[in-house]
Amino acid sequence: MNKSALQLMQKDLADLARHLSAKNIEVWLEDSTAQHAKLNSYKTVSLENIGGQVDLAIVMGGDGTMLSVARSLIDAEIPLVGINRGRFGFLTDLRAEDMLVEIDHILAGDYIKESRMLLVAQVVRDGKVAHTSYALNDVVIKSGLRLIELEVEIDQKFVYKQRSDGLILTTPTGTTAYALSAGGPILHPNLEAITLVPICPHTLSNRPIAVNGASKIEVTLVQFDEAQLSFDGQFQVTLEIGDKIMVHRAEKTISLLHPSDYCYFEMLRNKLNWG
């Protein structure tokens, strides 16, 4: 973030904090946010613990910020509101210039509440779980150098063996992220589905598929020079040959609050420059 953008965000944060405090609403700031924005007159707490202090989380930034916060607050089960200070803003849909008015509407109960499904993925190595994590957008298996060879089973049924640059397993929310760039379909976030999108498959017949959200997907790493597993594109786990990636829908969901006039299709038109 350049200096001018950072200054704008600092101003927006200060304006929002003052606005809420003036309404006798208790305001908590995440530690590093308060430090960078130089807002030292408010209560602060770590991101991991803030969910236990508040009833609503307001996230300012881009979709990446929202993804990170959402995963951190899974157990808190509090709703999130996103104020867009990024590029696309598929998840952070409040404009900064309208935020005070829109936040007032939301606090007055004038909003649309939406539940977004999460994926949980486990890396099983030598019969033991080596890593577990959640994703709101996607779980991505990706080669580091050359083609990766993997086998896919869905609900214990063999689907295919694939050679490609990797595989994206995505929620409906994540279909407008990396999967979109890889040629995957856009799924409405209210659908109960998981999409499997190959990354540059070594055969033209290997196409994206969508399966029931209750499906259990198992991906076995057969051969590669180097491979990683990423969650929402924000952190990676190094994989080994023979690892099994077990992916299924998480029991918990993420709640997003939108303005009362929010329309998913209007958002797509605006963000993707549709006619």
Per residue in 113-137, pLDDT tens? 999 999 999 999 999 999 999 999 9
Residue 123: exposed, middle, or buried by beta-carbon count in 10 A (0-12, 13-18, 19+)? buried
What DSSP designation does 186 have? Answer: P
pLDDT in tens, the chain (275 residues): 666 666 788 899 999 999 999 999 999 999 999 988 888 889 999 999 999 999 999 999 999 999 999 999 999 999 999 999 877 789 998 998 999 999 999 999 999 999 999 999 999 999 999 999 999 999 999 998 889 999 999 999 999 999 999 999 999 999 999 999 999 999 999 999 999 999 999 988 889 999 999 999 999 999 999 999 999 999 899 999 999 999 999 999 999 999 999 999 999 999 999 98
Alpha-carbon span 119 to 136, nearest angstrom: 6
Query: Is the pTM higher than 0.85?
Result: yes
Tell me what percent of the chain is helix, strand and coil, each rounded to the nearest 5: 25, 40, 35
Other beta carbons within 10 Å of 168 = 26
CATH 3.60.15.10 fits 118-251, yes or no: no
Sequence spans of domains, the chain: 3-110+260-272, 118-251
CATH class, range 3-110+260-272:
alpha beta
The three-state secondary structure class of 252 is strand
**Per-residue pLDDT tens for 163-200?**
999 999 999 999 999 999 999 999 999 999 999 999 99
Taking the CA atoms of residue 11, residue 12, residue 13 and residue 14 in that order, the dihedral angle to the nearest 10 degrees is 50
Q: Among all chains, which residue has been given the structure tokens 């959200």? A: 213
Q: 3-110+260-272 and 118-251: same fold?
A: no
Residue-wise burial string across 222-238, b where 16 or more C-beta atoms lie within 10 A, e elsewhere: eebeebebbbbeeeebe
Which residues have a catalytic role annotated?
63
